[in-house]
Amino acid sequence: MSSPFSGFTKSTIWSFLYSIKEWQLFIGLLCYAFFIRFPFFFRDYVDRDESTFILMGQSWVDGNLPYTELWDLKPPITFFFFATIIYVFGKSFIAIRIAGTFLVAIVAFFTFKIGDKLGYKSVALWSAILVVLLLSLFGSLQGVMSEHICMAFFMPGIYYYLFKRKFSYQYLAGLLIGLALMSKLNMAYPIAFMMLYTLWPKKGFKSLLKKTRLEFFFGLGVLTILFATALPYYFKGDILIWWESVFQAPMAYSKALDRAIYKPVPVVIAVSVFLVYAWKKKLLNFKSRKLWIFILLIFGTLFSFFKAGKMNGHYLIQLHPILILLVFPVLYKIDFFKNFKVKNYIFLLLFLLPIETYIEAANVIKTKQEKNRFMNGEGISVPLYLKKNQIDYHPIFFTEYHIGNWLLEEKPPTKIATHPSNIMREILFPYARNERKTSQEELQYIMQQIQPKIIVRRKNRPFFDGRIAWANDYMAIQIQNNYKVLDTIEQAILYQRLPSN
């Protein structure tokens, strides 16, 4: 079978790149990822989702299956990843962030292995390095997101599925893809696109029969993971909560969203223009079946964004590794990138691009100088303040910085409030088996029945989404009548309930 990335010669890159061993490459990618991400090891949180995953993982370590004590809208393998780290290393931000660094290195390494199988090592190597950058910079990607976990299973799964066409390897590929799906369910779409294409008969019935046998083992691997995540709930006698939380809740939430379907459109147009350009200029071999598989994986992922009705920055973690495998071979055939002088500056660029790393490093140093500690952020400072001043904080309600619950060994005020924004997503209440039926009832229950002694919000921000006026107005009235400002810690405002209330 011809390569989709034909047309390269070894003279296009330094000869040592062709002699590097795979284990050396993995260590190199891991070190580069560590270099970029290290200053963020000391941040309280980078994205609020990561805080929620930590709380869910801690609950699992405490003996509670996901969705039973706390609840969030993600499949269970995401929580299992965090639970494993917490179980082994305890309450360690650094351990979690190091584990995230390994995830990035794994994704980059298998991007290299796939690219190496499809073309030449030079293309694969630079693709892997770019993956480290794109999975570690910009927005909230320095934390450990469910997309990182998903792709650390997805890319090895695709590698074994495409290039190891034996029954045992197909079963392994199925296990890995199953783990990816149980980390981020939307990847079912690109997998479905790929499977439909690969099963399409090309050489008659015998060819289809052999493929069907291989796909059986692949599918068996996927089902093994699905059943494995369901078994604990079956033995507990409540498998329905697994089904409702893992499958029904995401579908209901997706349907209820105000769909901003225009958001993925620019990416779809850009990818389409790129592919047309590559076809017109004959920069990719469009006769290659494997090339079409990667095209379908890309558009399957984009289709999942359309179905979700939104496209946050960290969603692109699922797109970058696959797309890069097509983009880099094209770039290497453009005259500008063939210029040897340009390549001389690539290593310099690798250390100039992560500007966010240097900014965060300066923040860590500043925190050490001013507060004599490396850990920084309101999620760290607020718990330290409450403990140092021996303030009664039980129960506490974090409308922001809810990682503070973890450090204070507190639970969110209610199950649905594990991620504070879920309080305003009443479409999810039935699947979380929430006792209150509406967001208004839930908020009233928290404020009037639980009566948090401390409420934490972010300075100059509303308590909830600014578009939900009634919730912010209600909180303002409650604060005015029943609370006083205790203190402002960095960007966090702390309210303390008045003694008479």
Can you read off the two tokens belonging to residue 328?
């880099």
pLDDT per residue as tens digits for the range 418-461: 999 999 999 999 999 999 999 999 999 999 999 999 999 999 99
Q: What is the pLDDT of residue 334?
A: 77
Q: What is the pLDDT of residue 307?
A: 80
- pLDDT bucket at 5, cuts 50 / 70 / 90: very low
pLDDT per residue as tens digits for the range 288-322: 888 999 999 999 999 988 887 677 778 889 999 99
Alpha carbon distance 115, 117 (integer Å): 5
Percent pLDDT > 90 in the chain is 70
pLDDT per residue as tens digits for the range 307-363: 876 777 788 899 999 999 999 888 877 766 666 555 566 777 788 888 999 999 999
8-state DSSP, 7:
-
> What integer is the mean pLDDT of 226-240?
96
> What integer is the mean pLDDT of 195-220?
77
- pLDDT bucket at 233, cuts 50 / 70 / 90: very high
Q: What is the pLDDT of residue 207?
A: 60
At 271, is the secondary structure helix, strand, or coil? helix
Residue 107 has pLDDT above 50, yes or no: yes
Q: What is the pLDDT of residue 2?
A: 43
Cα→Cα distances 209→213, 216, 440, Å: 6, 10, 57
Q: What is the pLDDT of residue 455?
A: 98
Alpha carbon distance 105, 23 (integer Å): 12
Residue 228 has pLDDT above 90, yes or no: yes
pTM, entire model: 0.92
Q: What is the pLDDT of residue 323?
A: 94
**Residue 335: exposed, middle, or buried by beta-carbon count in 10 A (0-12, 13-18, 19+)?**
exposed
Q: What is the pLDDT of residue 165?
A: 85
Q: What is the 3-state secondary structure (H, E, C) of 110-149?
A: HHHHHHHHHCCHHHHHHHHHHHHHHCCCCCCCCCCCHHHH
Structural element, H or E, at residue 485: strand 483-489
pLDDT per residue as tens digits for the range 120-167: 667 888 899 999 999 998 777 888 999 999 999 999 999 999 999 889
